[in-house]
Amino acid sequence: MTRFAVLVSGRGSNLRALAEAAKSKRIPGEIALVVSNRPGAKALEFATDAGLPTAVLPHKAYSKRRAYDRDLVRLLQAYDIDWVLLAGFMRILSEVVVEAYPQRILNIHPSLLPAFPGLAPQQQAIDAGVAVSGCSVHFVDAGMDTGIIAAQAVVPVKHGDDAAALSKRILKAEHKLYPRVMRWAAEGLLDDGIPPDTAARLLLP
């Protein structure tokens, strides 16, 4: 069984989608650890209720990013983690983590990367006037929202959408897309650091 760690900072709706998929046995893997950098994250409540092992690694206790990241790697190694899934984890990982888990870290971002990286991508999409946006699951390198794209889901941007309405539509797609890519990881389809050549890489509305 592939051992996943899910890294969170907030609400945890993607964690929930991943946990449900793992539990349903559609995925030959398990969430072996949930790590939050915020002690009060709602995601932690869900994880505890779901009986998932949790750890809090508060970034405020560290003045240096690399020191934080070294402790994070130690924690992941202590739990024998194979894959690291970032799900609303609001920190950039330095090469300390990226090199400890080469091509074994994924992130989900609510835009069609490389468009609209960084903060408030839904508002960026609205401001740009695009007709479609969506979400991307990508391998993590030391950049922000860069790295090879594993899969993307497209959603329409509708007239009158505000960031909240678009976020909601995108989030629904995230909850379908991320478990799908998690399954690929568990099945070994991402072992070479490149996505499988399948139509399932693209989820349409």
- By annotation, the residues acting in catalysis are 109
Q: Which CB sits closer to ligand GRF, 2 or 167? A: 167
Q: Which CB sits closer to ligand GRF, 127 or 191? A: 127
Pick from 21, 98, 108, 150 the residue near ligand GRF by CB under 6 A. Answer: 108
Give the C-alpha distances (Å, rounded to integers) separating 17 from 56, 75, 114, 171, 172.
21, 23, 24, 11, 10
**179 contacts ligand GRF (rule: CB under 6 A):** no
All residues at 6 or more sequence positions from 122 whose CB lies less than 8 Å from its CB, including other chains: 110, 111, 133, 163, 166, 167, 170
Residue type, 202: L
**134 contacts ligand GRF (rule: CB under 6 A):** no
Q: How far is the CB of 63 from ligand GRF (least distance, A)?
A: 25
Cβ pair 34, 54 in contact under 8 A:
yes
CB under 6 A: which stretch of 11-19, 49-57, 96-104, 153-161 binds ligand GRF? 11-19
Distance between CA atoms of residues 21 and 41, nearest Å: 21
Distance between CA atoms of residues 193 and 181, nearest Å: 12
**11 contacts ligand GRF (rule: CB under 6 A):** yes
DSSP state of 157: P
Pick from 4, 6, 7, 13 the residue near ligand GRF by CB under 6 A. Answer: 13
Q: How many Cβ atoms are within 10 Å of 106's Cβ, its own excluded?
A: 24
**152 contacts ligand GRF (rule: CB under 6 A):** no
Q: How many residues bind ligand GRF (CB under 6 A)?
A: 15
**36 contacts ligand GRF (rule: CB under 6 A):** no
Binding site for ligand GRF (CB under 6 A): 10-15, 43, 87-88, 108-110, 135, 171, 174
